[in-house]
Amino acid sequence: MNRKIKLSLLILLLTAYAFVSSFSNVKAQRENFTLIYDNGLLVTLETPWYVYSNSTFNVTLTVKAAEANLENIVLNLTRIITFVDENETSPSYEPKIFQIGSLNINRSESYQINITLPENSSRVVMGEVACKWNIRNGTTIFFQRTMFPIAVIADVWKERVKELQDRITELEGNLTDLQRELNETRHQLESKMGELGVTQRLAVIFGVTTALFVFTTIYLFKRKPQIW
């Protein structure tokens, strides 16, 4: 049972180290996500993903005619939200309506949006877009609305990493204590095994002595003169 506990702690430590290491080595990089892919239209988001409170960053929205010639395309960035003290709030940005018009197949338009986060903002930054369009020479107007994560505010995750590092230190201490207990248990078992060896030897001697006593008694009894 102790070996299972030790193995579980080792696995947990390795997992935690891997997580902390990967997060600590995060570099500034931009990620791409698909927001809308429907009836020939593709809308994607490019974002730095990891951002900091009280900072300004930019994201890029790209609208592409992926599978057909499109027209009457309108993209509306309806809202952006984040959280301060667990309360929803809106960061500084310019709500925009992009009148794109027509796009031939495989053509695209990109738009950059600057976002300024308030002080003490935490958790995540969320956005919402709405888009309408139709296929060229078609009569059906398509509409899509979606809400999506824009970025993760790294400050709060730094706190989580610190908590995890403290937990790792605690687990290392527990592992040291467990190793000491295992060593003590091993020494006790070795001592018991030594005592068991002595007991076995005494049992053999006692058995031999008893056998000799019984044999001698029988021999003397047989040699005793018979009285009739």
Q: Is residue 207 part of a domain?
A: no
Q: Is residue 136 part of a domain?
A: yes
pLDDT in tens, 75-115: 999 999 888 888 888 887 776 899 999 999 999 999 999 99
Q: Tell me, what CATH number does 140's domain have? A: 2.60.40.10
Mean pLDDT of the chain: 77
Comparing 124 with 142, the larger pLDDT belongs to 142
Q: How many domains does the chain have?
A: 1
pLDDT in tens, 13-67: 445 544 444 444 444 578 899 999 999 999 999 999 888 888 899 999 999 999 9
**Predicted local distance difference test score (pLDDT) of residue 26:** 46
Comparing 201 with 165, the larger pLDDT belongs to 165
What is the mean predicted confidence (pLDDT) over 173-193?
71
Q: Is residue 228 part of a domain?
A: no
Residue 11 above 60 pLDDT? no
Instruction: Retrieve residue 78's tokens.
Output: 């309806």
What is the mean predicted confidence (pLDDT) over 131-149?
94
pLDDT band at 153 (very low <50, low <70, confident <90, very high): confident
**DSSP per position, the chain:** -HHHHHHHHHHHHHHHHHHHHHHHT-----EEEEEEEETTEEEEEEE--EE-TT-EEEEEEEEEE-SS-EEEEEEEEEEEEEEETTEEE--B---EEEEEEEE-TT-EEEEEEEEEPPTTEEEEEEEEEEEEEEETT--PPEEEEEEEEEEEEHHHHHHHHHHHHHHHHHHHHHHHHHHHHHHHHHHHHHHHHHHHHHHHHHHHHHHHHHHHHHHHHHHHHHHSPP--
Residue 132 above 80 pLDDT? yes
Q: Is residue 15 part of a domain?
A: no
What is the mean predicted confidence (pLDDT) over 121-147?
92
**Predicted local distance difference test score (pLDDT) of residue 146:** 93
Query: Which residue pairs, CB below 8 angstroms and at least 24 apart, start in 92-96?
Result: 92/116, 92/118
pLDDT band at 160 (very low <50, low <70, confident <90, very high): low
User: With contact defined as beta carbons under 8 Å apart, do 56 and 90 qualify?
Assistant: no
Q: Cβ atoms within 10 A of the Cβ of 160, count?
A: 12
Q: Phi, psi at residue 150, to the nearest 5°? A: -95, -45
Percent of the chain with pLDDT over 90: 34
Q: Phi, psi at residue 155, to the nearest 5°? A: -55, -45
**Predicted local distance difference test score (pLDDT) of residue 219:** 55
Residue 116 above 80 pLDDT? yes
Q: Is residue 126 part of a domain?
A: yes
Map tokens 């002080």 to a residue. Answer: 119
Residue 56: partners with Cβ closer than 8 Å, 6 or more residues away: 114, 115, 116, 117
Q: Is residue 90 part of a domain?
A: yes
Comparing 70 with 28, the larger pLDDT belongs to 70
Q: Is residue 186 part of a domain?
A: no
Helix axes 2-24, 154-223, angle to 10 degrees: 160
Comparing 187 with 11, the larger pLDDT belongs to 187
**Predicted local distance difference test score (pLDDT) of residue 228:** 41
**Predicted local distance difference test score (pLDDT) of residue 180:** 77
Q: Is residue 5 part of a domain?
A: no
**Predicted local distance difference test score (pLDDT) of residue 86:** 80
Q: Which domain holds residue 70?
A: 28-154
Map tokens 């609208």 to a residue. Answer: 63
